[in-house]
Structures are given as structure tokens and as C-alpha cells.
């Protein structure tokens, strides 16, 4: 089990968003605007629904026809064989860590339930 992910609280253990959080969001938004990145990056609430091992990363799969998005862990060792684009990073470990990827085909979104490893 990943020590970093294991330390994340489950969603029902995360405090509600506060006024102080809203102020932090605004400061982060201003930094993104200053860098011209406000239409490229956003925020996610760090939480967990299940354990993700140290040798795993989350993979997004989607089906545009049914408007369904699923995320599941895959082995990091499979990532070099995938065409994928990073979509989420964690900043809570003291460094920037890629947290999630999305499959691509020729650098375009793959869609339609792309399967990994058979």
C-alpha cells in the first residue's frame, strides 16, 4: 500500500470547504492567471476511496457515448507501454508527483473504454 495515499483521508473524513479554503483557492487562481495557466489547471480535493499501491498509478478511462468516466489503478510498469497524458499531480509529498494519466492515441484523447494489459 502506498504510504502517501494511505495517509489521505476517506472522503467522509475530509472537513467541509471553509472560507479559509476559498481564500486559498483565490490565491492559487491568481497565481495561475499570472502564469497564463488558469484555463489549463484546476484543483482536486485529495482523498481516497481505496488503497493504491506504491507501484500503481490511477488511469482514467471514458466512454463519450454514455458520458461515463472511470478511474482504476494500473501498475506504473505498464505506463511506459501506454500512450498517455498526465492529468493529475499531487503536491503533498514535498515534490510534484504525477497521480493520474489518461490514454491517448497519436496524442489525442483515446476514449471508449481503453483497456490496459489485456
Structure confidence at residue 45 (pLDDT): 93
If residue 19 lies in a helix (H) or strand (E), which one and from where to where? helix 19-35
Polymer length of the chain: 118
Other CB atoms within 10 Å distance of the CB of residue 57 = 21
Q: What is the DSSP letter of 16?
A: P
How does pLDDT run across 50-69, given as a tens digit for each residue? 888 889 999 998 888 899 99
Contact predicate 72/117, CB 8 Å: no
Structure confidence at residue 115 (pLDDT): 41
Structure confidence at residue 44 (pLDDT): 92
In the predicted structure, residue 28 carries a pLDDT above the cut 80: yes
Average pLDDT, integer, range 36-62? 92
Q: Please report, for the chain, the start and end positions of each structural domain, with discontinuous segments joined by +.
A: 1-52, 55-118
In the predicted structure, residue 109 carries a pLDDT above the cut 80: no
Q: Distance between CA 2 and CA 57 in Å, rounded?
A: 10
**Residue 58, Cβ density class (10 Å: 0-12 exposed, 13-18 middle, ≥19 buried):** middle
Closest C-alpha to 109, from 84, 76, 92? 84
Query: Given the C-alpha cell 500500500, which residue does it identify?
Result: 1
pTM of the model: 0.75
Q: Distance between CA 71 and CA 78 in Å, rounded?
A: 15
Amino acid at each position: 500500500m502506498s504510504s502517501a495515499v494511505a495517509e489521505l483521508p476517506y472522503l467522509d473524513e475530509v472537513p467541509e470547504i471553509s472560507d479559509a479554503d476559498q481564500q486559498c483557492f483565490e490565491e492559487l487562481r491568481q497565481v495561475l492567471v499570472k502564469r497564463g495557466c488558469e484555463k489549463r489547471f484546476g484543483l482536486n480535493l485529495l482523498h481516497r476511496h481505496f488503497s493504491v499501491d506504491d507501484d500503481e498509478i490511477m488511469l482514467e478511462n471514458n466512454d463519450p457515448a454514455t458520458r461515463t468516466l472511470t478511474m482504476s489503478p494500473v501498475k506504473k510498469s505498464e505506463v511506459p507501454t501506454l500512450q498517455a497524458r498526465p492529468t493529475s499531480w499531487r503536491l503533498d509529498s514535498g515534490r510534484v508527483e504525477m497521480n493520474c494519466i489518461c490514454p491517448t492515441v497519436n496524442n489525442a484523447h483515446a476514449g471508449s473504454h481503453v483497456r490496459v494489459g489485456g
